[in-house]
Amino acid sequence: MPRRMGRPGLMGTVARTAVVAGTATAVVGGVSRHGQQKAADQQNAQAQQQQLDEQQQQLAAQQQQLDQQAAAQQAAAPQAAAPQAVPQQAAPMASEDRLARIKELGQMKDQGLLTDQEFASEKARLLAT
């Protein structure tokens, strides 16, 4: 069969059109999948950023709460120590009462309620009366 010269026949045109259409479909599908993947990645990044922001807010709230508790404890410490200080008595004490009071002061010092300096000053005051 002799080879035809010139323009392609009907089958050649159909084949070329099919190849072009198939290539276009593949390219469009790839671009579409790439766009979808990019959108999904952006959504994941936004969700992760939002999660991190929420965690930072929770940590900041917990830190603030701990700071408030620490401040309350520091404020309560001097108030708790102040009522435990030994009140000065105007009337002189008997020697047995002084000895009992010194023993009480020693117990309070052992329990950590009085410092060494507070114990020494109260003991000296009791012995001076």
106 phi-psi bin (left φ>0, alpha ψ -120 to 50, beta other): alpha
8 A C-beta contact, residue 126 and residue 96? no
Burial class (CB in 10 A: 0-12, 13-18, 19+), 79: exposed
The pLDDT profile of the chain, 129 residues, written as one tens digit per residue, is: 566 676 777 777 888 888 888 887 878 777 888 889 999 999 999 999 999 999 999 988 888 988 888 888 887 766 555 555 555 554 556 778 888 888 998 999 999 888 999 999 988 888 887
Query: Which sign does the torsion angle of CA 107, 108, 109, 112 carry?
Result: positive
Query: Which sign does the torsion angle of CA 56, 58, 60, 62 carry?
Result: negative
End-to-end CA distance of the chain: 141
